[in-house]
Amino acid sequence: MEVGLRFWIEFEGKPVMGRGGYDILKNIEKFQSISKASRALGMSYRFIWDYIRRMENVLGERVVESEKGGVEGGRTTLTPLGKKLIDIYENFENTLKSALNGVRGIVEEVGENKVVITLDNNEFNIGDAVVIFKNGKIPRVKVK
């Protein structure tokens, strides 16, 4: 068993985007097309448009701009806010990965009130066990 993390960006307490939204914006940036992004991601065109609309409704601002027509049928690009969302997501993801690499380990025991993890590497000694106790709503961490 391994420990993983999921996170998402919120605005005024409302979810804006998680990994799926990040992937959508990155593919729109790459292909400059919602239909090409939808094919690359295996998502429907409608799903992507609905996801973008939800993001824009929460933020009160556009994250993509579409130009219709032209020889190649138009294009879709990210607004400065759309690009900022990608930057925020990537920076936070990199920070989390660095932190997670410092506490990567193997889950040894899962009980009703505790989890025991043997760490691969950290500021502790390799092989130390970390016990996380559930004490009400706030977990305590103790190194054995």
CATH class of segment(s) 9-101: mainly alpha
Give the pLDDT confidence of 92-130 residue by residue, as tens digits.
888 877 766 665 566 666 666 666 666 555 455 545 555
Distances (CA, A) of 83 to 22, 107, 136: 10, 37, 40
Contacts of 117-123 spanning 24+ positions with Cβ under 8 A? 117/3
User: Which segment, 14-18, 22-26, 92-96, is predicted with the most confidence on average?
Assistant: 22-26
CA atoms of 128 and 111, how far apart (whole Å): 19
pLDDT value of residue 141:
47
Counts of helices then strands in the chain (DSSP H, E): 4, 8
Band of pLDDT at residue 9, cut at 50, 70 and 90? very high
CA-wise closest residue to 41 among 65, 23, 21: 23
State the DSSP code for 113. S
CA 56 to chain CA centroid, Å, is 18
Helix axes 19-31, 80-102, angle to 10 degrees: 130
pLDDT value of residue 58:
96
- The 3-state DSSP composition of the chain as helix, strand, coil percent (nearest 5) reads 40, 30, 30
Model pTM? 0.70
On the question of pLDDT at 32 being above 90, the answer is yes
Say which amino acid occupies 58: V
CA-wise closest residue to 122 among 93, 143, 94: 143
Residue 20's contacts (CB-CB under 8 Å, 6 or more residues apart) are 51
More confident residue, 130 or 11: 11
Give the pLDDT confidence of 71-87 residue by residue, as tens digits.
767 899 999 999 999 99
